[in-house]
Amino acid sequence: MDRIRIKGGNRLVGTIPISGAKNAALPLMIASLLTDDTLTLENVPHLADVEQLIRILGNHGVDYAVSGKRIGQSGTSGRTIHFTARTIIDTTAPYELVSKMRASFWVIGPLLARMHQARVSLPGGCAIGTRPVDLFIEGLQALGASIDIENGYVAASAKGGLRGARYRFPKVSVGATHVLMMAASLAKGETVIENAAREPEVADLAECLNAMGAKIEGAGTSTIRIQGVEALSGARHRVLPDRIETGTYAMAVAMTGGDVTLENTRADLLEKALDALREAGAAVEPVANGIRVSRNGAALRPVDVVTDPFPGFPTDLQAQFMALMTRAEGTSQITETIFENRFMHVQELARLGARISLAGQVARIEGVPRLAGAPVMATDLRASVSLVIAGLVAEGETVVNRVYHLDRGFERLEEKLGNCGAEIERLSS
């Protein structure tokens, strides 16, 4: 099993290209099930989760082709992939595939909308909370689906097709908003989704669906209106920049006191996180085609944050910000409101010398003047990269084990950091 070794102490200086968003690419890929035409996606990141979803879609009959790189493209340029679901050959998503990645459960919406039936295993994924599928089921039932849970599978059917309806989510859910929006695109009549997720990835999916012929209004707000259509066509769509990768590298730069331009990204995708960085003492400014982040000599100040759905502070940046706060001059507080088990990185940061105390969903971080390298273990995707951020300033050598978590969500992390001066390498078993 691969590991990552870091020798701390180097400032990050240079340019880091930001990849396409994993959290946008996955639902966009799943949307290919809605049409028998070809859906072409540009700027698709090369990640383990993307490759796993390609295998899952292939199980349903989706063919794919990857375009070659254009002249002038760098090794970190996103891929262009063509997805064609001419014929759905299987409406079952088996446990051995779905258990490896939670987002693969989302195929239930397009399969039900297009084929009027689906049998999908209950999902797996990161162990950061229960994340039940109740919201998905209730939303699809509101559209007229009959659903049973049997032998670990969700069996859904909609004889004659789905019907438009008004549904209000009792709790904001990005995944359930994706699924209901895709399903409603082919439902008969109008669907109104209330208390919908407002994340940029939801708006990105809606933009793609509209290019395919859907009629969606209000994506990016809490109320989405969808006029169902009989069929969707193919389209070409570019995946938006990864705001979590952007925030992660921004925090790494602030941690090392560096000066880096993050290319191919947008500040409006993560304003709350960038505001927290500014409050902590980093300079953050939008530039042409990106964001410049620097911290030259200023001490890190403690900042309190509360995770919230967009446009709040992202839960997917909570671990990274905690790593940054371990070196602040004072005590900061992080309150996690989205997932109940998302502090598993605390014990590993403590191995590097961090002082963090937990009380329920609140973490208090007492900044320390130094961290010391040590072997640590990644527990989930975002926690793993928080250990890398801490390792960048830890004295001596830090070895991060179980980095397959990193490969699920960060494209060429060692290369991107190494090109900016980090002493970092992958150790293959």
Query: Whole-angstrom Cα distance, residue 335 to residue 304?
Result: 8
What is the fold, at CATH topology level, of the domain defined by 22-230? UDP-n-acetylglucosamine1-carboxyvinyl-transferase; Chain (3.65.10)
Which tens digits make up the pLDDT trace of 20-32?
999 999 999 999 9
For 425, the 3-state DSSP assignment is: strand
pLDDT of residue 72: 47
Provide the β-strand partners of residue 149: 154
Tokens standing for residue 10: 């180097």
Residue 423 DSSP label: E
Residue 125 DSSP label: -
Known binding residue 172? Answer is yes
For 1, the 3-state DSSP assignment is: coil
Instruction: Give the architecture (CATH level 2) of 3-18+241-427.
Output: Alpha-beta prism (3.65)
Known binding residue 253? Answer is no
- Indicate left, alpha or beta for 306 from its phi (over 0: left) and psi (-120 to 50: alpha): beta
Domain residue limits, the chain: 3-18+241-427, 22-230
Known binding residue 120? Answer is no
pLDDT of residue 77: 64
420 is an active site residue: no
Query: Whole-angstrom Cα distance, residue 159 to residue 275?
Result: 50
Q: Find the Cα–Cα–Cα–Cα dihedral 369, 373, 375, 381, rounded to 10°.
A: 60
Cβ–Cβ under 8 Å, residues 425 and 23: no
Tokens standing for residue 344: 């598993």
Provide the β-strand partners of residue 68: none
Cβ–Cβ under 8 Å, residues 284 and 277: yes
Q: Look up tokens 């980095």; give the residue.
A: 403
pLDDT of residue 130: 46
Q: What φ, ψ does residue 146 adopt, rounded to 5°?
A: -95, 125
Write b or e for each residue in 308-344: b if 16 or more Cβ atoms lie within 10 A of its Cβ, otherwise e.
Answer: ebbeebbbbbbbbbbbbbbbbeeebebebebbeebbb
Known binding residue 102? Answer is yes
Range list of H helices, 61-150: 95-98, 108-115, 134-142
- Interhelix angle 271-280/318-325, rounded to 10 degrees, is 0
Q: Which of 81, 85, 126, 305 is catalytic?
A: 126
Percent of the chain with pLDDT over 70: 95
Query: Whole-angstrom Cα distance, residue 79 to residue 81?
Result: 6
Known binding residue 37? Answer is no
Nearest in space to 60 (alpha carbons), one of 39, 85, 29? 85
The three-state DSSP-derived secondary structure of 363-386 is EEEECCCCCECCEEECCCHHHHHH
Tokens standing for residue 186: 């082919």
**Is there a shared CATH topology between the 3-18+241-427 domain and the 22-230 domain?**
yes
Query: Whole-angstrom Cα distance, residue 11 to residue 116?
Result: 55
Tokens standing for residue 170: 């009792």
Nearest in space to 222 (alpha carbons), one of 301, 279, 169? 169
pLDDT of residue 381: 74
How far, in Å, are 92, 138, 227, 320, 368 from residue 160 at the CA level? 19, 19, 17, 48, 63
Known binding residue 174? Answer is yes
pTM confidence score: 0.94
Q: Rg of the chain over CA atoms, in angstroms?
A: 22
Provide the β-strand partners of residue 379: none
Residue 422 DSSP label: -
DSSP 129-193: ----SHHHHHHHHHTT-EEEEETTEEEEE-TT--B--EEE-SS--HHHHHHHHHHHHTSBSEEEE
Known binding residue 416? Answer is no
For 389, the 3-state DSSP assignment is: helix
Per-residue pLDDT of the chain (429 residues; tens, 9 = 90+): 899 999 999 999 999 999 999 999 999 999 999 999 999 999 999 999 999 999 999 999 999 999 865 544 555 568 999 999 999 999 999 999 888 888 899 999 999 999 999 999 987 544 434 446 889 999 999 999 999 998 889 999 999 999 999 999 999 999 999 999 999 999 999 999 999 999 999 999 999 999 999 999 999 999 999 999 999 999 999 999 999 999 999 999 999 999 999 999 999 999 999 999 999 999 999 999 999 999 988 899 999 999 999 999 999 999 999 999 999 999 999 999 987 777 889 999 999 999 999 999 999 999 999 999 999 998 887 788 999 999 999 999 999 998 888 888 899 999 999 999 999 999 987
Known binding residue 387? Answer is no
pLDDT of residue 411: 95
In sequence order, what E strands does 290-379 have? 290-294, 305-306, 331-335, 355-359, 362-366, 375-377
